[in-house]
Amino acid sequence: MRRQRQRFVVLKLVLGLVLVPFLGVILTDTDNAKQFSARVKNYMELQKQVSSKVPPLATTEVDPAKIAVRTQALASGIQQRRANAKQGDLFFPGVAQEFREIIRKELQGKHGAATRKAVKTGNPAEEEAGIAKIVLAVNAPYPDKAPRSSVPATILLSLPELPKGLEYRFLGRNLILLDSMSNLIVDYLQDVVPKVTGGEVQTGRLKAPTSLRVVRR
Amino acid sequence: MRVLLSLILFLSTAAAQDLFLPNKKDSLHFAVIGDSGTGDRNEYEVARQMVAFRAKFPFAMVLMLGDNLYGGESPQDFKAKFEEPYKDLLAAGVKFYATLGNHDDPKQRFYKPFNMNGQRYYTFKANDRVRFFVLDSNYMDPQQLNWLASELKGSNSPWKICFFHHPLYSSGKQHGSDVDLRRFLEPLFLEYGVKVVLAGHEHFYERLKPQKGIYYFISGGSAKLRRDNIARTNLTAKGFDQDNHFMLMEIDGDTLFYQTISRPGATIDSGIVSLQGENKAVSAAAAK
């Protein structure tokens, strides 16, 4: 988290004072944040181990079939190694509370309208019909036919930084931790985007994610 | 009567396929497409029109503004939605440079014909005067912002052109301007002299009135089309939402020329952007 804080300082300097007022609350050096980063690191170590046992992927692959084969092999390996994984393994209750608080504040803040709109952009719950049904569960694959939400820069600047290959994404009102190399949902936080309640706390009228099915394990 | 009709048709077709760019031998020629990866008839027809125009305007590269593959990422999807429609251009050695849209799996960055070299965001120099900065607007994290600031600052190319999927300014009824993204990118563009920004996402063509001196184009209708989706705003300099389209651009010294062409081959917009100011949309004939 110290590295993250240093990066924020650098970013603020690079972008100049003009951007500083836009940066809201950030998840800083709390014990929960440290523990979350440690769990992320453990996951990435597991991904690295599985990755070393599947066919390598060139950064300039001519045959898209090889990308698909590797993604599937990586997903299978990770699913086997994390057979007992469950919701909350990475988003444990302490850090989950901090995530919810940060996202709530960003969605309601001075620039909340733009942030709420960005959360809806590309969100599968908002896109046109015809996408595959998405199972919201740990170790479930993110369908390649489904679009991916934008994650507002405002929120990405506030949440703990993730290593390459791991991303935050919104799925309906839920926040998922997505392994972008295996297309697996590593963990998720349900209903992190508050419900539409009217007045200042509106969330951009995010639709009910009719194509999502929440599976508890 | 039939002869007359044939003559009118011939003349209109000939006029429709006119090129209104200087087409100088040593200038930079390129094409722009966006929201192209449907694999449907519209995509193929736009691609055929690109091939027809390339016979007159030999562009060596195509910028792809995202949503390169809709509805799946299987090898068959790559074939039907990219390799087949653009096979003549690919066979001629035209290089495609892709950016990621919200319908794109980020692993497209490993696909060689998209020339992303495994990176979600990247930069490349087209010649001594032109550098492109290609962003992943789906996920503008601190690393990417830092990278962009550093690359823009370090570039001495007079022409700094950014392209990515989500438009910072848009009159689209469906999406509209991405204000959250704008808050972070626009200060960098202004600070480091970005002159032209290209985006897709909206399934139409829109040339925005210059915003703080920056020229924004939306070209997100190279296969998808959202008819009648441009709202009346004071942002629009020129809009077209009645058919699919693609763009041709040419940079010669301090001047960028653009021509936007519809699926049937009609010119729907053309004009000039100058590094020194004095930019103007011009009639097709005047552009020539």
Summarize pLDDT for B127-146 with one digit per residue, the tens: 999 999 999 999 999 999 99
Name the minimum distance, in Å, from the CA of A137 to any CA of chain B.
Answer: 19
Average pLDDT, whole number, for chain A? 80
pLDDT of A21 strictly over 90: no
How much of chain A exceeds pLDDT 70, in percent? 73
**Cβ-nearest to B191 among A16, A67, A130:** A16
Contact A156 B142 (CB under 8 A): yes
Q: What is the pLDDT of residue A4?
A: 52
What confidence category does residue B218 fall into, taking pLDDT thresholds of 50, 70 and 90? very high
Measured over the CA atoms of residue B124, residue A164, residue A147 and residue A114, the dihedral's sign is negative
Q: What is the pLDDT of residue A59?
A: 82
Distance of alpha carbon A76 from alpha carbon A91, whole angstroms:
22
How much of chain B exceeds pLDDT 70, in percent? 90
Among the residue ranges A13-17, A57-61, B211-215, the one predicted with the least confidence is A13-17
- Which of B180, B185, B188, B212 would you mutate first to test chain A, the one with the most A CBs within 10 A? B180
Distance of alpha carbon B134 from alpha carbon B152, whole angstroms:
11
Q: What is the pLDDT of residue A212?
A: 52
Using a CB-CB distance cutoff of 8 angstroms, which residues of chain B are in contact with residue A63? Answer: 75
Q: pLDDT: is A216 or A32 the higher one?
A: A32
Q: What is the pLDDT of residue A61?
A: 87
pTM of the model: 0.88
pLDDT of B7 strictly over 90: no
How much of chain A exceeds pLDDT 90, in percent? 51
What confidence category does residue A210 fall into, taking pLDDT thresholds of 50, 70 and 90? very low
pLDDT of A213 strictly over 70: no
Among the residue ranges B10-24, B39-53, B214-228, B254-268, the one predicted with the least confidence is B10-24
**Cβ-nearest to B110 among A61, A121, A145:** A61
pLDDT of B203 strictly over 60: yes
Contact A68 B150 (CB under 8 A): no
Summarize pLDDT for A41-94 with one digit per residue, the tens: 999 999 999 999 998 888 888 899 999 999 999 999 999 999 999 999 999 999
- For A15, counting Cβ atoms within 10 Å of its Cβ (0-12 exposed, 13-18 middle, 19+ buried), the class is buried
Contact B102 A148 (CB under 8 A): yes
Q: pLDDT: is B278 or B51 the higher one?
A: B51
**Cβ-nearest to B142 among A7, A65, A183:** A7
Instruction: Write the DSSP assignment of chain B as a string of letters.
Output: -HHHHHHHHHHHHHHHT---S---TTSEEEEEE-S-TT-SHHHHHHHHHHHHHHTTS---EEEE-S--S-S--SHHHHIIIIITTTHHHHHTTPEEEE---TTS-GGGGGBGGG--TT-SSEEEEEETTEEEEE--TTB--HHHHHHHHHHHHH---SEEEEE-SS-SS--BSSS---HHHHHHHHHHHHHHT--EEEE-SSSSEEEEPPBTTBEEEEE--SS---TT-B---SSEEEEE-SS-EEEEEEEETTEEEEEEEETTS-EEEEEEEETTS--EE--HHHH-
Residue B206's identity, in one-letter code, is E
Rounded mean pLDDT of A149-176?
93
| Both structure tokens of A15 | 């972008």
